[in-house]
Structure 1
Amino acid sequence: MSAQVLASGWTDSSSLGYPVLFGGVLLGSLVPVVPTGPLLSVAAAVAMTTDRLDIAVVLLLAVLAAFVGDVVTFSVARFGGPSAVRWMTRGQHADRLTEVREQFRVHGWQIVVVGRLVPAGRIPVLVAAGALAYPWRRLLPASLAAATLWAVAYALLGVVSGGIADSPLVAVGIATALVLAVGLVTNLVARRRRSRR
Structure 2
Amino acid sequence: MDWADPSSIGYPVLFGGVLLGSVVPVVPTGAVVGAAAAIATSTDRLDLVWVVLVATIGSLIGDLVTFAAASGGRTAVVRWFSRRQSAERLESAREKFAARGWQVVVIGRMVPAGRIPALLAAGALGYPWRRLVPAAAGACLLWSVAYSALGVVSGGLFDHPVVATVIATVLVLVVTAVSALVAKRRERRPS
TM-score of the two chains, using structure 2 as the length reference: 0.93
2:163 aligned residue (158, 170, 175):
170
Q: Is 1:28 aligned to residue 24 of structure 2?
A: no
Gaps spanning 5+ residues in structure 2: where? Answer: none
Deviation string 1:120-168 (CA, Å, 9 cap, x unpaired) is 1000100110010001121111000100000000000001111111111
Q: How does 1:5-44 map to 2 (within 5 A)?
A: 7-8=1-2, 11-12=3-4, 14=6, 17-44=10-37
Match for residue 58 of structure 1?
Answer: 51
Deviation string 1:60-94 (CA, Å, 9 cap, x unpaired) is 10000101111111011112142232123322211
| Cα distance between partner residues in 1 of 2:189 and 2:141 | 31
Contact 1:88/1:127 (<8 A) preserved:
no
Q: How does 1:25-104 map to 2 (within 5 A)?
A: 25-104=18-97
1:124 aligned residue (107, 114, 117):
117
1:187 aligned residue (172, 176, 180):
180
| Cα distance between partner residues in 2 of 1:159 and 1:149 | 15
| Cα distance between partner residues in 2 of 1:90 and 1:38 | 35
Contact 1:21/1:61 (<8 A) preserved:
yes
**What secondary structure sits across from 2:84 in the alignment?**
coil
Opposite residue 128 of structure 1, the aligned amino acid is A
| Cα distance between partner residues in 1 of 2:82 and 2:112 | 22
Contact 2:74/2:123 (<8 A) preserved:
no
Gaps spanning 5+ residues in structure 1: where? Answer: 1-6
Alpha-carbon offset, residue 113 of structure 1: 0.1
**What secondary structure sits across from 1:47 in the alignment?**
helix
Q: Percent identity?
A: 58
The runs of at least 4 consecutive aligned structure 1 residues that moved more than 3 Å come to: 12-16
Contact 1:77/1:85 (<8 A) preserved:
no
| Cα distance between partner residues in 1 of 2:35 and 2:61 | 21
Alpha-carbon offset, residue 183 of structure 1: 1.4
User: Per chain length, whose mean CA-contact separation is higher, i.e. which structure has more relative contact order (CA < 8 Å, sep 6+)?
Assistant: 2
State which drifts further: 125-134 or 75-84.
Answer: 75-84
Alpha-carbon offset, residue 14 of structure 1: 4.8
